[in-house]
Amino acid sequence: MSAVLVGTSHGTDDPAGQAAVRALLDGVRAARPELDVREAFVDVQQPEVDEVLAGAVRDAGSAVVVPLLLSTGYHVRHDIAQAVAAVNASGAGVAVAAEPMGPHPLLVDILADRYAAAEAAHGPFRPDDAVVLAAAGSSVAAAATAVEEVTSALAQRLGRPVTPSYGAGAEPRVPAAVAAARAGGEPTARVIVVSYLLAPGYFLDRVLEAGADVVTDPVAGPAGAEKADPRLVQVVLERYAAAVSP
């Protein structure tokens, strides 16, 4: 029997965000129908990851927690790590934690597509328009390093500078980065924020309030998308496979 895949997201009160995560896990199930795929959360929603993980190991003997998070941080290093450690200490079976979804080249591909879709909707972006990448943020230094890696790759892809920014935990915060970009540009220049956020929810709402002229759809796509981007499904399955066969 294959290890259960426990897809673990942050959790959100936003129905569109909840639907996006469900669609992602449904995409994983469709791609690998032989896998037992279960949903868990580290905050806001139920069931919590420790409960789901314990049940998965009890049922199948082994499980892999795949963080549906775009970088490492407190939830990966504390909540998920503690849940895995508790199950392994219990002797009920074997649990492991996979790497978070980002950074990953496919995520950069998706961000470039979201940028292109925004440009198609809002008219051609000009060379003097500023681009800011907005991530959720974490006080864990490795998380900022991962965001900077994605920012650099996106800048190379777009052929223009991209400034990283954060919703919490690191600097600059998104409103400050937007304000700085506007202050440093021409009066007619626009500020485009690329949302390095998995799905609609609290952080995307804050990004939308930050004063940018254009905000791209999150990584999972526009609200209401019925199917997950197959590239996201691929990232989840790659993380799972790497954890099963390190």
Q: Which amino acid is at 117?
A: A
The values of phi and psi at residue 130, to 5°, are -100, 145
**Residues of the chain under the 50 pLDDT cut:** none
Model confidence, pTM: 0.95
pLDDT score at 246: 65
Instruction: Take residue 239 and report the two structure tokens written for it.
Output: 């993380």
Q: Quote the CA–CA distance of 137 and 165 in Å, as a whole number.
A: 8
User: Of 100, 106, 228, 103, which is closest to residue 164 (Cα–Cα)?
Assistant: 103
pLDDT score at 187: 84
Alpha helix segments (H runs only) across the chain: 15-31, 49-60, 74, 81-90, 105-122, 141-158, 174-183, 202-208, 230-244
pLDDT score at 136: 94
